[in-house]
Structure formats: C-alpha cells, structure tokens
C-alpha cells in the first residue's frame, strides 16, 4: 500500500461512523464492506488512512480530485444521507416501544430433533411453537401499531359502502395516484383477477423476476412468465440488482410480437431475486419501452416503501426527497399495481389491485364479486381496511424505514464479517445465505440449502426457508438427479417490528456457529413429494454419503 496517503479525519455521526477524506465521507456501506468499524472505534488512524487510499482507488480512481471534501461523492456506496437531528448517537434504535408481548417457547435440542423427525425434515411441517426465531417469511408476520389496533376498533362492517372502505380507498389513492382501487384478501387474489382480465393463452408477461404466485397465476392463464432481471453474481455489490434488463425487454417484445405482451410487470423490491431494489431510472426506462410499444406497465408493489428508501439512499437526486414523494413517483410511472399489503401495508392480511383504466377496473370488479366479495370490502373485514389504511401511512415514516433497512443490513454485516457467504448487498426484507458457496461438497440434487436450513433449526431453533433446488429445481425423470435451480439459498426474512436487536444477535450467532461446522454437514434426499409446489410438503431423509 502506498504511503502517499491523503489525510483523513474520523468523525462519529449518528448512524454512520464517518471516515472523512479529500472526497468527503465514506458512508456505512463501504465501512461495512471493509470492516473498518473496529478500526474507526479503536482510533487506528494509520490503518484507516491506508484503507482510505484503497477506498479512494476503488471508488474514485487513482487521482482524487475534490480536495475540499465538503460533499459526498456521487457513488451510491458513500451516500450523504446523514440525519440532521439532535440525536448524535450511532445506534439505530427500534423506533417503537413494546406494548404487547407474545412468549417465545424455547424447545430443547432434543425436542427440536424430534420435531424435525416428525416433520420429515421439512421446516414447513413444524409447529410455530417449536421455533425460537421464525424467519420463514416477512409476509403477514409483522406487528401492528396501537394506532392500527385502534383503527380496528373503528372498523365499519357495513356490507356496502362502509366508512372503512372510503378511508382505505383514499389512503391508496393518495399514495399511488391510481383512480380505481379494488381491495383483495391478499396479493395473489389481486394477481389472479388482473391476469384473468388482461392475459390470454399464448401471451408473454415480462417481469424483472416473477414471485412464485405471480408466475403461477400467469401460467394458469396459459401464458409465459418471462424473467428479465439484469444479470449479476450473488457476491457482486451493486445498488439496484432488481433492475430489468432493458435491452432484453425490447428484444423479447420484438421476438414474440407486441400483440402477445398484454402488460409488463416490475416487482419492487425484487423478492425472488434477493429482495433487491429497482432504481427510478430503470423504472423510467421500462416505462419508455412500454410507451414505445403501447403496453401497460404494472408494479408488483408489495415492498414499495423499502424500495423507496433504497432509492433515497442510493440514487442520485433523491437524498432530499421523502419516501412518500419517491413512492408516488414510482407509482406515477405505472398504469396500475398489485399489492400484498402483508408486507409494506404492515398488516397481517390484506391486499389490493389499483389502476387507471376504467374498463379494466369494471371487469376486475365483476370478477372480484365472484371470487372475493363486494367491491367495497374485497375479501376483507372493515377493520382490516382500517388497519391497512393506517399501515400505508406508518410504513413511509423515515425513522421506521431507516431502522427496517438497517436491521436487515445489521444481520448481513454480522454474518458477512464472520465469512458467511450471502447474496450481496443485503435485501430490504431478508438476508439470503449462499449455501452453494458454503457447502460446495453437497451437490444440488442433495439440496445444500435445505441441509443448511435444517441445521439452523437443529442448532438454534431458527427457521428460514430453502430457495434452491427443492423449491425451483425439476425432479429428474426415472430416478435421475433433479435439474438444479440457478442458486441454492437460505432466506432469512425479517418480520416487521417483531424482533429486537438481541434476537438478531442470536440469529447471527447461530448462523456463524453452523457455518463453522459446514464441512461436517451432509445432504438430503426426498422420500415423498407432491407433483407441484413440492417444497411445502416434501419429506426428506439425510444422505450419509456426502458427509466428509
């Protein structure tokens, strides 16, 4: 490392221990990457100086130019998103007090082993009270606020035209700007209605990455669900890994013909692609292609608020915009959306379909009456609509979003620092452990991610979910090994406002401990499986042979 180092000053602002150099501040993400936190707090300036040179080289090229260092560079990895508030401490606290608690059972190792045997080593088969920390999903598993519960008491249960519906409708219109708002009991019901109305056999629906229910609902119409997310490696750190490959989109429309593409979808954040965000620029580019061909654009907007926060942190020009302004801009680029409100609606059940096209909304409402209920309640109670309207406001609170994204990143940092391979950078709602990288001795057809998920439960009672060959692989014909999935991941999804930092510290400890014994782990074989969606009910047994 060269000795011709620029001078650096170490400051400690709230949220970000800043290393200050000639280019301004190097923010938290860079710091985590280079594990400088310890260094910063130990005050080892010389080492920091050397690191700064490396950082400067990596992000600014060899020759730094801005000698004033008054402003952060444009690079998303050192965003100048520091709070100007009177709290000068770096710990990001949970921005809520606990009001009601639910006991967590603490099953013993023997009890967990027995539960695994009973469930056929399928974590979906466990009872919730056999789990210590449940990171199976972030969907509908969050805690509601006292204001939401108060709203539930105000629920108007009139069959038609209830007050609660109008409060919900006005919250959705205020957020999305869409003129037609249709409540549904959850996200997949909105998908089913939209695709029944808009998609025909032989059509093709492009998306960055379809979530599994979205894919299933497109395929149920006899259409093709086409994933066109821009290519990247799991370990590659990029700001917007959920972006659509624009050229691939254009090429796909040209290839199949515009008449066969009834709509384009964009999933924000991209759940099946690691919970990665989509940039506003990419949304604008997708919109431009849709305009060029005259195709409507819909958002699968379950995690719109988390995506907005990532745009604020990482995209040039958005640092001073509120999450609500950013969310509104995202929705303004689309013609409609499907939403599972069990995520950023902060409710345990609920969803909606919204759009501008009146004719499509009429057809959708007719179908809604057939399958979900009258258009002023969908599949929901009046009190659910109240909780949802309130949730849509609370989720855009900056203190909440800062805590939410940081708490996921916190888990990612802890386990990355200990050498555990994950999809980088951390997603908004989940951390995805790369089981293929951790367990290279277990072949895909012996389900390394399933083996890892089982071990996390066995060792620490932590329940994650396999997202690999069990979920997405295809069973081989006549006993041949399965066709593997592209990635072997264990997703640890963080329920909203539910676990505290010590719960997450515990999870990190379990993951690190299990990773230390990785070479001892062996794979599994499936002994029973359903013809579709086998991951929910398959039964497994351990394979002795892949043990080293």
Ligand X SMILES: Cc1ncc(COP(=O)(O)O)c(C=O)c1O
Under rule CB under 6 A, residue 267 binds ligand X: yes
Residues 204 and 195 sit within 8 Å (Cβ to Cβ): no
Give the C-alpha separation, 204 to 201, whole Å.
Answer: 9
Provide the minimum distance between the beta carbon of 209 and ligand X in the complex, in angstroms, as a whole number. Answer: 9
Among the listed ranges 107-115, 151-159, 183-191, 528-536, the one in contact with ligand X (CB under 6 A) is: 183-191
Under rule CB under 6 A, residue 241 binds ligand X: no
Among the listed ranges 103-111, 180-188, 353-361, 402-410, the one in contact with ligand X (CB under 6 A) is: 180-188
* Nearer Cβ to ligand X (298/403): 298
Helix and strand numbers (H, E) in the chain are 19, 17
The residue nearest ligand X at its CB is 187
Q: What is the Rg, in whole angstroms, of the alpha carbon atoms belonging to the chain?
A: 24
* Nearer Cβ to ligand X (187/277): 187
Under rule CB under 6 A, residue 25 binds ligand X: no
Give the C-alpha separation, 294 to 116, whole Å.
Answer: 52
Task: Name which position in 162, 176, 208, 340 contacts ligand X (CB under 6 A).
Answer: 340
Under rule CB under 6 A, residue 296 binds ligand X: no
Under rule CB under 6 A, residue 187 binds ligand X: yes
- List residues bridging with 492 in a β-sheet: 431
Tokens, residue 264: 């384009």
Tokens, residue 124: 């979906």
* CA–CA distances in Å: residue 396 to residues 11, 117, 307, 324: 29, 43, 11, 6
Closest by CA position to 122, among listed 358, 492, 464:
464
* CA–CA distances in Å: residue 486 to residues 12, 368, 489: 42, 36, 10
**HSE-up (13 A, CA, CB side) for residue 312:** 24
Under rule CB under 6 A, residue 271 binds ligand X: yes
Give the C-alpha separation, 208 to 227, whole Å.
Answer: 5
Give the C-alpha separation, 423 to 402, whole Å.
Answer: 21
Under rule CB under 6 A, residue 188 binds ligand X: yes
Under rule CB under 6 A, residue 301 binds ligand X: no
Under rule CB under 6 A, residue 348 binds ligand X: no
Under rule CB under 6 A, residue 139 binds ligand X: yes
Sign of the CA dihedral 421, 423, 425, 431? negative
Window 211 to 240, contacts with ligand X (CB under 6 A): 211, 213-214
Under rule CB under 6 A, residue 307 binds ligand X: no
Residues 59 and 73 sit within 8 Å (Cβ to Cβ): yes
Give the C-alpha separation, 108 to 99, whole Å.
Answer: 28
Task: Name which position in 186, 208, 279, 522 contacts ligand X (CB under 6 A).
Answer: 186
SS3 518: helix
Window 491 to 520, contacts with ligand X (CB under 6 A): none
Residue positions counted in the chain: 548
* Nearer Cβ to ligand X (121/178): 178
Task: Name which position in 130, 169, 300, 344 contacts ligand X (CB under 6 A).
Answer: 300
Under rule CB under 6 A, residue 335 binds ligand X: no
Which x/- pattern over 196-215 shows residues binding ligand X (rule: CB under 6 A)? ---------------x-xx-
* Nearer Cβ to ligand X (214/469): 214
Provide the minimum distance between the beta carbon of 220 and ligand X in the complex, in angstroms, as a whole number. Answer: 14
Neighbours of 111 (CB within 10 A): 13
Under rule CB under 6 A, residue 184 binds ligand X: no
* Nearer Cβ to ligand X (56/467): 467
Size of the site for ligand X (CB under 6 A): 14
Under rule CB under 6 A, residue 390 binds ligand X: no
* The pairing of beta strand 489-493 with beta strand 9-12: unpaired
Torsions phi, psi of 269, nearest 5?
A: -65, 170
* Nearer Cβ to ligand X (274/351): 351
Provide the minimum distance between the beta carbon of 267 and ligand X in the complex, in angstroms, as a whole number. Answer: 5
DSSP-assigned states of every residue in 190-209 = HHHHHHHHH--TT-EEEESS
Under rule CB under 6 A, residue 409 binds ligand X: no
* Nearer Cβ to ligand X (32/139): 139
Provide the minimum distance between the beta carbon of 430 and ligand X in the complex, in angstroms, as a whole number. Answer: 10
Under rule CB under 6 A, residue 372 binds ligand X: no
Q: List contacts with ligand X (CB under 6 A).
A: 139, 186-188, 211, 213-214, 267, 271, 300, 302, 340, 342, 351
């Amino acid at each position: 490392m060269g000795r011709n180092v620029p001078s650096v000053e170490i400051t400690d602002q709230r949220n970000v221990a800043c290393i200050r150099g000639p280019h301004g501040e190097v923010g938290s993400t860079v710091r985590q990457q280079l594990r400088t936190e310890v260094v910063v707090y130990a005050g080892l300036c010389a080492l920091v100086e050397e690191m700064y040179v490396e950082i400067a080289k990596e992000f600014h090229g060899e020759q730094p130019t801005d000698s004033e260092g008054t402003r952060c560079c444009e690079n998303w990895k050192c965003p100048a998103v520091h709070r100007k508030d009177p709290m000068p401490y770096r710990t990001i606290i949970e921005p809520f007090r606990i009001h009601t608690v639910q006991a967590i059972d603490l099953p013993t190792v023997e009890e967990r082993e027995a539960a695994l045997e009973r469930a056929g080593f399928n974590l979906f088969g466990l009872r919730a009270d056999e789990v210590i920390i449940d990171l199976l999903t972030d969907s509908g598993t969050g805690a509601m606020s006292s204001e939401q519960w108060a709203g539930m008491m105000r629920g108007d249960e009139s069959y038609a035209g209830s007050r609660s519906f109008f409060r919900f409708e006005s919250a959705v219109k205020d957020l999305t700007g869409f003129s037609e708002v249709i409540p549904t009991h959850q996200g997949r019901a909105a998908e089913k209605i939209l695709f029944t109305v808009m998609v025909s056999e032989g059509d093709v629906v492009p998306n960055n990455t379809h979530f599994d229910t979205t894919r299933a609902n497109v395929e149920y119409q006899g259409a093709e669900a086409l994933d066109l997310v821009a290519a990247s490696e799991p370990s590659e750190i990029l700001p917007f890994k959920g972006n659509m490959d624009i050229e691939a989109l254009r090429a796909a429309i040209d290839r199949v013909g515009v008449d066969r593409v009834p709509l384009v979808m964009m999933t924000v954040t991209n759940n099946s692609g690691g919970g990665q965000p989509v940039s506003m620029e990419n949304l604008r580019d997708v919109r431009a292609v849709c305009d060029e061909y005259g195709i409507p654009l819909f958002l699968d907007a379950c995690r719109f608020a988390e995506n907005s926060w990532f745009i604020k942190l990482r995209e040039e020009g958005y640092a001073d915009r509120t999450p609500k302004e950013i969310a509104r801009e995202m929705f303004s680029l689309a013609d409609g959306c499907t939403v599972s409100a069990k995520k950023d609606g902060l409710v345990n059940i609920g969803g909606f379909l919204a759009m501008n096209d009146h004719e499509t909304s009429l057809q959708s409402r007719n179908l809604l009456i057939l399958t979900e209920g009258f258009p002023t309640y969908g599949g929901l109670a009046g009190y659910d609509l109240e909780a949802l309207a309130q949730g849509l406001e609370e989720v855009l609170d900056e203190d909440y979003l800062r805590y939410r994204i940081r708490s996921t990143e916190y888990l990612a940092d802890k386990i990355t620092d200990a050498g555990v391979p994950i999809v980088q950078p951390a997603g908004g709602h989940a951390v995805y452990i790369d089981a293929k990288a951790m367990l290279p001795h277990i072949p895909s057809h012996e389900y390394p991610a399933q083996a890892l998920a089982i071990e996390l439960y066995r060792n620490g009672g932590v329940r994650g979910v396999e997202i690999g060959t069990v979920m997405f692989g295809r069973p081989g014909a006549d006993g041949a090994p399965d066709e593997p999935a592209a990635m072997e991941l264990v997703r640890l999804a963080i329920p909203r406002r539910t676990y505290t930092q010590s719960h997450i510290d515990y999870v990190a400890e379990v993951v690190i401990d299990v990773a230390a014994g990785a070479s001892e782990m062996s794979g599994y074989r499936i002994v029973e499986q359903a013809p579709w969606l086998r991951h929910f009910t398959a039964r497994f047994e351990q394979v002795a042979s892949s043990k080293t």
